[in-house]
Amino acid sequence: MAEGARGLSDPRRSGQIEPRRLTAWTALANLFLDTEHTEEIRHCLARDLRETGYSLAELEAILRNEIAPVFGGNLLSMAGEWALWGEDEIEPIMRRDFLGRSRLTFGQWLKGRLAYPLAATEWNRIAGIIAHDEPSRN
């Protein structure tokens, strides 16, 4: 994603991870777990995402362009992870598989394209919670 695309700067340019970006990555990566989220977990993820300060459009761009290509394979795997991920697990994965590359590999792109629709229903539920809680912000 280029500088300014959809209002976001590409974290690969600086190699630094903003704390709010790591929080967004962590919450959004949890949409790619092989489990059904409870309403309580959805509200916690929505709260974490709201606190990043990103708009819903920015969060969806991060989900589609950064998280789905890296974590999409988890939904497509027979032995996918099902326990919630923490920032301590997300950061090294994103450093290696996203920040460590100048662009997505074909495999990452394909996994992201295939897995995003599987996570979209859960994303829409969480986005609805965010929009409902702060209707004037988005």
Q: What is the mean pLDDT of each run of 10 residues along the chain (138 residues)?
A: 47 76 96 86 96 97 95 74 78 90 90 92 95 63
Alpha carbons within 13 A on the beta-carbon side of 28: 34
pTM metric for this prediction: 0.82
Q: Is-contact 50 133, C-beta < 8 A?
A: yes
φ, ψ at 57 (rounded to 5°): -65, -40
| Residue 138 covered by a domain | no
* The pLDDT value given to residue 66: 95
| Residue 81 covered by a domain | yes
Please state, in angstroms and rounded to a whole number, the distance separating the CA atoms of residues 127 and 42: 10
Q: What is the pLDDT of residues 4-17, one digit of tens each?
A: 334 566 666 666 78
| Residue 64 covered by a domain | yes
Beta bridge partners of 8: 5
| Residue 25 covered by a domain | yes
- Dihedral of the alpha carbons of 57, 63, 66, 67, in degrees to the nearest 10: 170
* The pLDDT value given to residue 41: 93
* The pLDDT value given to residue 5: 38
Domain residue limits at 63: 19-133
| Residue 8 covered by a domain | no
* The pLDDT value given to residue 6: 45
Please state, in angstroms and rounded to a whole number, the distance separating the CA atoms of residues 12 and 8: 12
| Residue 4 covered by a domain | no
* The pLDDT value given to residue 137: 45
* The pLDDT value given to residue 34: 74
DSSP 83: S
Strand extents, DSSP E, the chain: none
Count of structural domains, the chain: 1
| Residue 116 covered by a domain | yes
Q: What is the pLDDT of residues 34-48, one digit of tens each?
A: 778 889 999 999 999
